[in-house]
Amino acid sequence: MKRPLPLRAAGALLLCAAAALCGCAEKTRYGDARGVETVTNQFGSTDLQMIAESMTRSMLNAPVVASNNMPIITVQEVKNKTSEYIDTRSITDSIRVELQKSGRVRFAVDAAAMDQQIEELKRQQSDYYDSKKSSEIGKMVGAAYRIEGNITSIVKEAKDMKDVYYKFSLQLWNVQNGLLEWADEKEIRKTTSR
Protein backbone atom coordinates (compact mmCIF):
# COMPACT_ATOMS: atom_id res chain seq x y z
CA MET A 1 0.00 0.00 0.00
CA LYS A 2 1.29 3.42 -0.95
CA ARG A 3 1.97 5.94 1.85
CA PRO A 4 -0.07 9.15 1.51
CA LEU A 5 1.95 12.05 0.02
CA PRO A 6 1.50 14.53 2.91
CA LEU A 7 3.07 12.03 5.31
CA ARG A 8 6.08 11.50 3.02
CA ALA A 9 6.51 15.27 2.67
CA ALA A 10 6.36 15.71 6.44
CA GLY A 11 9.02 13.01 6.86
CA ALA A 12 11.30 14.70 4.36
CA LEU A 13 10.78 18.01 6.11
CA LEU A 14 11.67 16.47 9.46
CA LEU A 15 14.85 14.98 8.00
CA CYS A 16 15.86 18.35 6.54
CA ALA A 17 15.21 20.07 9.87
CA ALA A 18 17.29 17.47 11.73
CA ALA A 19 20.15 17.86 9.25
CA ALA A 20 20.01 21.63 9.55
CA LEU A 21 20.05 21.40 13.34
CA CYS A 22 23.10 19.13 13.25
CA GLY A 23 24.85 21.57 10.91
CA CYS A 24 24.21 24.55 13.19
CA ALA A 25 25.07 22.76 16.44
CA GLU A 26 27.97 24.48 18.21
CA LYS A 27 31.00 22.51 19.26
CA THR A 28 33.20 23.78 22.06
CA ARG A 29 36.65 22.40 22.76
CA TYR A 30 39.56 23.49 24.88
CA GLY A 31 42.54 24.78 22.92
CA ASP A 32 46.20 25.47 23.59
CA ALA A 33 46.41 28.82 25.39
CA ARG A 34 50.03 29.08 24.22
CA GLY A 35 49.35 28.02 20.62
CA VAL A 36 49.85 30.25 17.57
CA GLU A 37 46.59 32.17 17.11
CA THR A 38 45.82 33.44 13.60
CA VAL A 39 42.04 33.91 13.67
CA THR A 40 42.33 37.54 12.50
CA ASN A 41 45.25 39.90 12.04
CA GLN A 42 44.24 42.05 15.00
CA PHE A 43 46.40 42.08 18.13
CA GLY A 44 46.03 38.63 19.70
CA SER A 45 47.18 36.31 22.43
CA THR A 46 50.28 35.14 20.53
CA ASP A 47 51.39 38.77 20.06
CA LEU A 48 50.91 39.50 23.75
CA GLN A 49 52.79 36.39 24.83
CA MET A 50 55.65 36.94 22.38
CA ILE A 51 56.07 40.58 23.44
CA ALA A 52 56.00 39.76 27.16
CA GLU A 53 58.53 36.94 26.77
CA SER A 54 60.85 38.85 24.46
CA MET A 55 60.91 41.95 26.69
CA THR A 56 61.39 39.96 29.89
CA ARG A 57 64.28 37.86 28.59
CA SER A 58 65.94 40.96 27.17
CA MET A 59 65.54 42.90 30.42
CA LEU A 60 67.07 40.00 32.39
CA ASN A 61 70.30 40.74 30.48
CA ALA A 62 70.23 44.46 31.35
CA PRO A 63 73.20 45.30 33.63
CA VAL A 64 71.00 46.73 36.41
CA VAL A 65 68.97 43.51 36.53
CA ALA A 66 71.80 41.04 35.79
CA SER A 67 73.90 42.49 38.62
CA ASN A 68 71.79 40.47 41.10
CA ASN A 69 71.10 43.52 43.28
CA MET A 70 67.33 42.90 43.20
CA PRO A 71 66.44 46.38 41.91
CA ILE A 72 63.03 47.75 42.89
CA ILE A 73 60.95 48.58 39.85
CA THR A 74 57.54 50.13 39.26
CA VAL A 75 55.46 49.68 36.14
CA GLN A 76 54.08 52.76 34.47
CA GLU A 77 51.82 53.11 31.49
CA VAL A 78 52.39 51.53 28.10
CA LYS A 79 50.72 53.90 25.66
CA ASN A 80 48.58 52.37 22.96
CA LYS A 81 49.28 54.40 19.82
CA THR A 82 47.62 51.92 17.49
CA SER A 83 44.21 52.35 15.89
CA GLU A 84 42.77 49.33 17.67
CA TYR A 85 41.89 48.61 21.28
CA ILE A 86 44.75 46.84 23.06
CA ASP A 87 44.76 46.18 26.79
CA THR A 88 48.34 47.30 27.42
CA ARG A 89 47.90 46.65 31.11
CA SER A 90 47.62 42.98 30.28
CA ILE A 91 51.00 43.12 28.50
CA THR A 92 52.74 44.86 31.42
CA ASP A 93 51.08 42.44 33.87
CA SER A 94 52.57 39.51 31.94
CA ILE A 95 55.99 41.16 31.85
CA ARG A 96 55.80 41.80 35.59
CA VAL A 97 54.82 38.20 36.33
CA GLU A 98 57.71 36.81 34.25
CA LEU A 99 60.22 39.20 35.81
CA GLN A 100 58.98 38.43 39.30
CA LYS A 101 59.30 34.68 38.60
CA SER A 102 62.91 35.21 37.51
CA GLY A 103 63.71 36.17 41.10
CA ARG A 104 65.94 39.00 39.91
CA VAL A 105 63.79 42.04 40.60
CA ARG A 106 61.23 43.31 43.08
CA PHE A 107 58.24 45.44 42.28
CA ALA A 108 56.96 48.44 44.19
CA VAL A 109 53.28 49.27 44.13
CA ASP A 110 52.47 51.16 40.94
CA ALA A 111 50.29 54.24 40.44
CA ALA A 112 47.28 52.15 39.39
CA ALA A 113 47.33 50.12 42.61
CA MET A 114 48.26 53.03 44.91
CA ASP A 115 44.69 53.83 46.00
CA GLN A 116 44.13 50.25 47.16
CA GLN A 117 47.48 50.25 48.97
CA ILE A 118 46.69 53.49 50.83
CA GLU A 119 43.19 52.29 51.63
CA GLU A 120 44.58 49.10 53.19
CA LEU A 121 47.20 51.03 55.18
CA LYS A 122 44.54 53.38 56.50
CA ARG A 123 42.21 50.51 57.33
CA GLN A 124 44.90 48.89 59.45
CA GLN A 125 45.23 52.09 61.51
CA SER A 126 41.63 51.72 62.76
CA ASP A 127 40.78 50.48 66.25
CA TYR A 128 39.77 47.09 64.91
CA TYR A 129 43.40 46.08 64.40
CA ASP A 130 46.16 45.26 66.87
CA SER A 131 48.37 48.31 66.49
CA LYS A 132 51.53 46.28 67.22
CA LYS A 133 50.87 43.99 64.26
CA SER A 134 49.51 46.59 61.84
CA SER A 135 51.55 47.88 58.93
CA GLU A 136 52.90 51.33 59.67
CA ILE A 137 52.34 54.38 57.54
CA GLY A 138 55.52 55.85 56.08
CA LYS A 139 57.38 52.59 55.53
CA MET A 140 56.64 52.01 51.86
CA VAL A 141 59.67 51.61 49.61
CA GLY A 142 59.96 53.68 46.48
CA ALA A 143 61.11 52.20 43.19
CA ALA A 144 64.61 52.89 41.92
CA TYR A 145 63.55 52.20 38.33
CA ARG A 146 60.38 52.62 36.33
CA ILE A 147 59.19 50.79 33.24
CA GLU A 148 57.31 52.62 30.52
CA GLY A 149 56.68 52.07 26.86
CA ASN A 150 54.38 52.30 23.90
CA ILE A 151 52.92 50.21 21.13
CA THR A 152 52.44 51.57 17.63
CA SER A 153 51.09 50.05 14.44
CA ILE A 154 51.12 50.65 10.71
CA VAL A 155 48.20 49.21 8.79
CA LYS A 156 48.23 48.90 5.02
CA GLU A 157 45.25 47.57 3.14
CA ALA A 158 44.83 46.73 -0.53
CA LYS A 159 41.97 45.09 -2.39
CA ASP A 160 42.72 41.56 -1.32
CA MET A 161 45.43 42.03 1.28
CA LYS A 162 45.88 43.57 4.73
CA ASP A 163 49.26 44.08 6.35
CA VAL A 164 49.64 45.02 10.00
CA TYR A 165 52.97 45.94 11.56
CA TYR A 166 53.26 46.34 15.34
CA LYS A 167 56.18 47.81 17.21
CA PHE A 168 56.32 47.46 20.97
CA SER A 169 58.96 49.57 22.75
CA LEU A 170 59.83 49.28 26.42
CA GLN A 171 62.27 51.29 28.51
CA LEU A 172 63.71 51.04 32.01
CA TRP A 173 64.44 54.47 33.49
CA ASN A 174 66.46 55.32 36.58
CA VAL A 175 64.08 57.34 38.80
CA GLN A 176 66.88 59.09 40.71
CA ASN A 177 68.96 60.43 37.83
CA GLY A 178 66.62 60.07 34.88
CA LEU A 179 69.03 57.90 32.91
CA LEU A 180 67.79 55.28 30.50
CA GLU A 181 69.16 51.97 31.80
CA TRP A 182 67.69 49.58 29.23
CA ALA A 183 65.44 49.67 26.18
CA ASP A 184 64.27 47.14 23.64
CA GLU A 185 61.73 46.69 20.88
CA LYS A 186 59.71 43.82 19.50
CA GLU A 187 58.37 43.95 15.97
CA ILE A 188 55.54 41.81 14.64
CA ARG A 189 54.20 41.68 11.07
CA LYS A 190 50.95 39.97 10.16
CA THR A 191 49.58 39.69 6.66
CA THR A 192 46.13 38.50 5.69
CA SER A 193 45.23 37.77 2.10
CA ARG A 194 41.91 36.68 0.64
**Which residues would be at the binding site for other proteins (CB under 8 A)?**
32, 34-36, 46, 49-50, 53, 56-58, 60-61, 66-68, 98, 101-104
Phi, psi dihedral angles at 40 (to 5 degrees) = -135, 175
Q: Of the two residues 98 and 148, which places its CB atom closer to other proteins in the complex? A: 98
Cβ(148)–Cβ(175) below 8 Å: no
* Shortest reach from residue 34's CB to other proteins, in Å: 5
* Shortest reach from residue 53's CB to other proteins, in Å: 6
Q: Of the two residues 53 and 163, which places its CB atom closer to other proteins in the complex? A: 53
Cβ(185)–Cβ(171) below 8 Å: no
Q: Of the two residues 40 and 135, which places its CB atom closer to other proteins in the complex? A: 40
* Shortest reach from residue 67's CB to other proteins, in Å: 7
* Shortest reach from residue 115's CB to other proteins, in Å: 31
Using DSSP's 3-state secondary structure scheme, residue 161 falls into strand
d(CA 157, CA 145): 40
d(CA 82, CA 33): 24
Residue 158: closest CA among 192, 122, 113, 116: 192
Q: Of the two residues 58 and 134, which places its CB atom closer to other proteins in the complex? A: 58
Q: Of the two residues 61 and 131, which places its CB atom closer to other proteins in the complex? A: 61
d(CA 91, CA 45): 10
* Shortest reach from residue 64's CB to other proteins, in Å: 11
